Amino acid sequence: MSTGTDRVGRVAPYVAGIVAGAAMLAVGEALAALLRQRTGPVAAVAELVRDLTPAGLVKGFIELVGTADKPILVAIVTVGALALSALAGRWRFGWLVLVGLGVLASVAVLVNPGESGVGAARGALVVPPGLATCVGVACLAVLQDAARAAAREGRDATGATGATGGTGRRRFLVIAGGVALTAVVVGAAGRLAGRSRRTVEAAREALLDRLRATPGEVPAGAQLDVPGVGRWQVPGEQFYRIDTAFAVPLVDPDAWRLRIHGMVEKELELSLADLLDRPATEAWTTLCCVSNPVGGDLIGNAWWTGVRIAPLLAEAGVQAGADAVLQTSEDGWTCGTPLGVLTDDRDAMLAYAMNGEPLPIEHGFPVRVVVPGLYGYVSATKWVVDLEVTTFDAFEAYWTQRGWAPEGPVKTQSRVLVPRDGTRVRAGEVDIAGDAWAQHRGIEKVEVQVDGGPWTTCELGTVPSADTWVQWSTRVSCGPGDHTVVVRATDGDGETQTSVRTDVVPDGASGWHEVRFTAG
Ligand SMILES: Nc1nc2c(c(=O)[nH]1)N[C@H]1C(S)=C(S)[C@@H](COP(=O)(O)O)O[C@H]1N2
Ligand SMILES: [Mo]
């Protein structure tokens, strides 16, 4: 009779750990679904595990289990987390285990290439693992406390006193059962909350064939063969992400409409089907962010497919006196774009495909604006729903209200990507390489200066137009010791980028990028 009580006392700490771990997992997954993130913490850890596993092993595993690889990995991570939580339940400092799991999950979501959020979007990424850890630790404390009471009671029962109250045991079972039940309910609610994202994800997949977008063939000679110089064409999952959306807007492509109105003769309303019926345009355009510091990586280049905006505005009939288009997104973000860049001959478009696929949800699905030559904050509205022809005098857009300039043409910039700052290379002939951009003016020349010596002109990769970045490289001889390399670019108008360093506010950073490395 007493052994039963004793057994409860012995297993209670493990149960406490598992239940606390389950609560932590449920909260993390539910929050990620609520914030409409692409992956929950568990899947992010599974993807991290996959990415850190040698490629050969991963291939063998996929050959073995086929398309079940993801669910299996997720199951392994879940079971692993619960097993560690069970052990944590036995340990006085078991909460450290949960914190460790939380840190692992936070790192996993932050390094996940599919979650390249910056700013609000990036902050939102660590909310699920962070809050989940807090909940897990709190549950563990309460459950361990109850488990200890139950165990004490078990010991007393087997002892000489023979007191068999059982209230501690019952209390533990009630608390553990309650937490477990709540975890199940929260987990189920999370599944439900994730449904809207899965629905839009499915609608996106269904569009794959309807778009007739080509995948984009990188022009010969654009991609330099220097390790570390990066990909000339950036895949959607690796493309930098900037927006104010804490939870990404989920737009049903069938219900999506774009209104073109304001100072026009005739308002237009377009559905996605209307756009797909119109002549498509396809172009390489490099997009970059005004808040990119010198040498920063808030820039990417992709092959965009969509409909040019100029003919649409012509069809609407722009009235005299208009000089701007106020763009609005589904989530209420706004930006103001000079009318001129939307009506001249550049490929300013309503893009519905990126690198031959429907836009990724994070990059504006189903339709966004892409304008060569302007920073994203004044041109590249994702989830766009409204274009109002107006005047700059008549409005203040989202970032203009917050101290940024009303107009934002891209400044000529260049960066050194090889060697990386602070790294060591072999002395001798050293590869120096990077990229440069001045969208819509183009890059004419890139020069580097090593250790304050003369400026050397670099070799440039080919480009299809003036609207993309250019990769450049050169080779210099570097003896053992510390070196610095500075880069500067000259744009298609013959203007060399200024060495004057400015902050990113109000209209983009200027200045030369400098990198230090050691040869030895
Ligand atoms: N709806 C919406 N569109 C937006 C933004 C935003 O916050 N909301 N940010 C803009 C900014 S500042 C930039 S740099 C680009 C980034 O586009 P990307 O995330 O696809 O790289 O989107 C632009 N479009
Ligand atoms: Mo930006």
8 and 150 Cβ atoms separated by less than 8 Å: yes
Pocket test for ligand 1, best of 38, 359, 377, 413 (most atoms within 8 A of CB): 377
Q: Which helix (H) or strand (E) holds 105?
A: helix 95-111
> pTM of the entire structure?
0.87
Q: Which atom of ligand 1 is nearest to the CA of 398?
A: 7
Q: Which ligand is located closest to the Cα atom of residue 118?
A: 1
As a whole number of angstroms, the distance between CA 279 and CA 259 comes to: 19
Pocket test for ligand 1, best of 234, 242, 287 (most atoms within 8 A of CB): 242
Sign of CA dihedral 225, 226, 232, 238: positive
What was the pLDDT predicted at 157?
A: 64
What was the pLDDT predicted at 151?
A: 85
16 and 151 Cβ atoms separated by less than 8 Å: no
As a whole number of angstroms, the distance between CA 266 and CA 280 comes to: 22
What was the pLDDT predicted at 161?
A: 46
Q: Which atom of ligand 1 is nearest to the CA of 382?
A: 3
Model pLDDT for residues 289-302, shown as the tens digit of each residue: 999 999 999 999 99
**CA 483: distance to chain centroid?**
34
For 371, the token pair is 């304008």
For 4, the token pair is 């039963």
Candidates 3, 419, 454; CA nearest to 227 is 419
Alpha carbon of 34 to ligand 2 centroid (Å): 25
- Type of residue at 87: L
- Crossing angle of the two packed helices 69-90 and 55-65, in degrees rounded to 10: 110
Contacts of 42 (CB under 8 A, 6+ apart): 25, 28, 29, 74, 77, 78, 81, 105
Model pLDDT for residues 144-192, shown as the tens digit of each residue: 999 999 888 877 765 544 445 588 889 999 999 999 999 999 999 999 9
What was the pLDDT predicted at 2?
A: 46
As a whole number of angstroms, the distance between CA 173 and CA 12 comes to: 9
Q: Which ligand is located closest to the Cα atom of residue 335?
A: 1
What was the pLDDT predicted at 447?
A: 98
71 and 163 Cβ atoms separated by less than 8 Å: no
Please count the other Cβ atoms lying within 10 Å of the Cβ belonging to residue 226. 19
What was the pLDDT predicted at 150?
A: 87
What was the pLDDT predicted at 65?
A: 82
What was the pLDDT predicted at 112?
A: 78
Alpha carbon of 381 to ligand 1 centroid (Å): 6
What was the pLDDT predicted at 460?
A: 98
Q: Which residues of the chain fall below pLDDT 50?
A: 1-2, 160-163
211 and 305 Cβ atoms separated by less than 8 Å: yes
Q: Indicate whether residue 404 lines ligand 1 (CB < 6 A).
A: no
Pocket test for ligand 1, best of 363, 382, 385 (most atoms within 8 A of CB): 382
Give the chain's domains with CATH numbers. 4-194 (no CATH), 215-220+229-402 (3.90.420.10), 413-519 (2.60.40.650)
Sign of CA dihedral 373, 375, 379, 380: positive
Strand order in the sheet with 413-418: 413-418, 428-437, 470-478, 459-460
Alpha carbon of 128 to ligand 2 centroid (Å): 25
Alpha carbon of 377 to ligand 1 centroid (Å): 6
Q: Indicate whether residue 380 lines ligand 1 (CB < 6 A).
A: yes
**CA 328: distance to chain centroid?**
21
